[in-house]
Amino acid sequence: MMSESRVKTTIRNQVAYVTLNRPEKRNAFDMAMFNAVSQTIKKLRKDRRIRAVIVTGAGEDFCSGLDVKSVMGSRSGPLRLLFKWWPWGSNLAQRVSTGWRRIPSPVIMAIHGRCWGAGLQVALGADFRLVSPDASLSIMEGRWGLIPDMGGTLALRTHGRLDQAKMLAMTAETFSADQAFDMGWVTQVADDPLAAAEAMADTFQALSPDAIAGVKKLLNKSWTGSDGMALFRESWYQVRVIMSKNTRIKTWNQTHDADEHREFVHRKRW
């Protein structure tokens, strides 16, 4: 029950709203929060109704980082976070960041207040980060004698310069939304990140979900790596998108009137 209370998820108009829900602790991650976010991601991956995911934090902050006292207070806590069967896979600590990449629909972080340590690692796993002008960000792990080990490295190596990442990870300094935007770590600085996220979600809903999913997978896998594999994925994913039902329905809609389209969709569903 505690894990369930850590994250609230509602679905409205095919958009999943995920809220980190530990405001009394500034949404800091304890073991229950790690489990709740991981379980939420797993459920959203399987829900084909969803056209976009928006992640927010309850209260004054998006997420202030790791609840060090809670997680490190027992010997089993760190071991449960770091354990993995497969060395190249994600452990529990990493899944709360890398897991967003496996959701087919776009994932948008609407960030306000503090976004430190674990919070920034979670946010870096999303497709887009919309940040309020007064937000504060930090790779905070160094302050506790730790290294950033929650999967955010996958995003950092594509979003910004190596020397900037090293400086901020080594010093654990805080930086502003504007600085993060200049470094390429956030998508947009917005006065109202949630409203901006909803507007972005509306844009995606007007497009083919199969094409959106294909673009996400193609770019995530091909942004680094060999040219040959990138070209192969372009061709293979394009074939899959063209053959999908959503593409066929969209093509029909462009060449027939609305009544014929509705009748066609009814036949396809039944």
Percentage of the chain lying above the pLDDT 70 cut? 87
Identify residue 95 by its one-letter amino acid code.
R
Per-residue pLDDT, 3 = 62
Residue 182 and residue 235 in one domain: no
- Could you identify the residue written with the tokens 């202030």? 64
In sequence order, what are the residues at sequence separation of 6 or more whose Cβ sits closer than 8 angstroms to the Cβ of residue 195? none
Mean pLDDT of the region 1-25: 90
- Bridge-based pairing of strands 188-189 and 128-131 is parallel
Residue 152 and residue 134 in one domain: yes
In sequence order, what are the residues at sequence separation of 6 or more whose Cβ sits closer than 8 angstroms to the Cβ of residue 266? none
Residue 81 and residue 197 in one domain: yes
Beta-sheet strands, E only, within 112-153 = 114-116, 128-131, 136-138
Residue 200 and residue 217 in one domain: no
Residue 135 and residue 233 in one domain: no
Beta-sheet strands, E only, within the chain = 7-12, 15-20, 52-57, 107-111, 114-116, 128-131, 136-138, 174-176, 188-189
Q: Please write the tens of the pLDDT for every residue from 178-218.
A: 999 999 999 999 999 999 999 999 999 999 999 999 999 99
Residue 52 and residue 180 in one domain: yes
Per-residue pLDDT, 259 = 44
Residue 67 and residue 149 in one domain: yes
Domain count, the chain: 2
Q: Which of 111-115, 229-233, 243-247 has the lowest mean pLDDT?
A: 243-247
216 C-beta neighbours (distance < 10 Å), count: 18
Residue 169 and residue 74 in one domain: yes
- Could you identify the residue written with the tokens 């709203």? 17
Last residue of a domain, one of 205, 229, 254: 205
pTM, two decimal places: 0.85
Concatenated DSSP letters for 53-110? EEEEESTT-SB--B-HHHHTTSSHHHHHHH--SSTTS--HHHHHHHGGGGSSS-EEEE
Residue 76 and residue 193 in one domain: yes
Residue 42 and residue 74 in one domain: yes
φ/ψ of residue 53, rounded to 5: -125, 130
Residue 244 and residue 169 in one domain: no
173 C-beta neighbours (distance < 10 Å), count: 14
Last residue of a domain, one of 172, 205, 238: 205
Residue 240 structural domain: 209-269
Last residue of a domain, one of 156, 175, 205: 205
Per-residue pLDDT, 11 = 96
